[in-house]
Each structure stands twice: as C-alpha cells, then as structure tokens.
C-alpha cells in the first residue's frame, strides 16, 4: 500500500498553505500518516529560488529570460522534491504517508509561461514528473488576491496585478486540458467551506 499525493494550487493569497495544513490534520484524524510539503523546497535550489523571488539576483535583461530561468530552477528543485531519499515525495508515498504539496509543476506553467511557446516548453520540461492523485485548485479573483497581499510585509516578484492576471489565465488553460482528477473550489468562500468541499470530494472518490 502507498500513500496518496495531493497538490493544492492557486494564485497568491488563495490560502493554499492554510488548506494544506487543515487537510493534513483531517487525514491524521482519519488514521492516516500525512505530511505537508511545498515548492520551492527547503533544499539548496529551493533556497536560491526563494532568495530570487525576493530580490532580482540574476539581473537578466527581460522578464522572458527571467521566467525561463526560474522554470529551469523550479524543475531542478522539483526533481529533488520528488526523488530525494530522506523526505522526498516518492520516499514518503512508499512508506504509506499521504503527501500534501502546496504547489507543483502546475505553478511553474502558470507563473513562468508568458507565451504559448513558453507554456508548451515548461509543460514538456515537467512531463516526466508523477501526477498527483488529486489536484485541488482554489479559484480566487485577482482583485481579492491583491487585497490580501497588501496586508503582507514583503511582496515577491510575481505578486502584482498584471502578472497575476496572466497566471490566472494560465491556470484556466491548464485545468481545461488536464486529464487527471481535479477539484476546483471557490476561494471566496470561508476556510471551513473550502475544506468541506475538499473532504466531500475525497470521501466520494475513495481517496481517504
């Protein structure tokens, strides 16, 4: 028996981390072992990504070059996230531990694709990574995201209106073509209602 792999996605401010931790608690209450993980990871490449998102340390000439480089860094960090033998996703799944990840390769496509060519290239770059048992997408309007982000002390490079509108459009394109199990929930609802929708789907589809 192996664990289940759940991915929670959404634009900044949609509550992915909150829902991931609530889902972990729910799974544990159901008698499962569960772990929350995230991208970027706490590995060395992940640390570099986090630093880059807070300050432009590469000084590339344009946004397109920056996003392509970030897509490559995220793919390398994702490889570590999946395959490292200490606490990698596959290691935990093999131990019958359910893994809840805030962000996965869907984020790379959504955040780093500026053109159709970019979209296809990043999708291909990540094509050999394992699919989650369920993709949970928290759908939040950009206007509400910006209000929530305004309360944060520090903003990252991607957290501005024009970028988030493009990210939302990319997520919609991903969901239209995704063939795996996906649950789309309304991020305007309360934390409790969003979690309830997730639980109802898991129980209905024998994922717990």
Q: Coil, strand or helix: which one is 159?
A: coil
pLDDT at 57: 58
CB 119 within 8 A of CB 77: no
CB 134 within 8 A of CB 182: yes
What is the residue extent of each domain of the chain? 5-204
CB 182 within 8 A of CB 135: yes
Domain 5-204: which CATH number of 1.10.730.10, 3.30.420.10, 3.40.718.10, 3.40.50.300: 3.40.50.300
**pTM score:** 0.93
DSSP H or E segment with residue 25: helix 16-29
pLDDT tens for the chain, residues 1 to 208:
799 999 999 999 999 999 999 999 999 999 999 999 999 999 999 999 998 887 665 555 667 788 999 999 999 999 999 999 999 999 999 999 999 999 999 999 999 999 999 999 999 999 999 999 999 999 999 999 998 888 776 655 556 888 899 999 999 999 999 999 999 999 999 999 999 999 999 999 999 9
The tens digit of pLDDT for each residue in 120-149 reads 999 999 999 999 999 999 999 999 999 888
CB 74 within 8 A of CB 124: no
pLDDT at 18: 97
**What are the tokens at 200?**
């109802």
In whole angstroms, give the CA distance from residue 82 to residue 78: 6
ω into 40 cis (within 30 of 0): yes
Q: What is the CA radius of gyration of the chain?
A: 17
């Amino acid at each position: 028996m192996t664990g289940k792999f759940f991915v929670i996605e959404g634009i900044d401010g949609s509550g992915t981390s909150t829902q991931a931790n609530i889902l972990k608690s729910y799974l544990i209450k159901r008698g499962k072992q569960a772990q929350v993980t995230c991208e970027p990871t706490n590995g060395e490449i992940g640390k570099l990504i986090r630093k880059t998102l807070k300050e432009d340390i590469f000084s590339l000439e344009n946004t397109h070059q920056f996003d392509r480089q970030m897509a490559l860094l995220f793919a390398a960090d994702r490889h570590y996230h999946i395959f490292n033998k200490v606490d990698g996703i596959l290691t935990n799944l093999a131990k019958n531990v359910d893994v809840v990840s805030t962000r996965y390769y869907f984020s790379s496509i959504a955040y780093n694709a500026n053109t159709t060519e970019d979209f296809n290239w990043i999708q291909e770059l990540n094509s050999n990574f394992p699919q989650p048992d369920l993709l949970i997408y928290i759908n939040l309007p950009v206007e509400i995201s910006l209000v929530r982000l305004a309360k944060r002390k520090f903003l990252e490079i991607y957290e501005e209106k024009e970028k988030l509108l493009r990210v939302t459009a990319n997520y919609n394109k991903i969901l239209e073509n995704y063939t795996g199990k996906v649950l789309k929930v309304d991020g305007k609802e309360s934390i409790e209602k969003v979690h309830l929708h997730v639980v109802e789907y898991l129980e209905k589809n024998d994922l717990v």
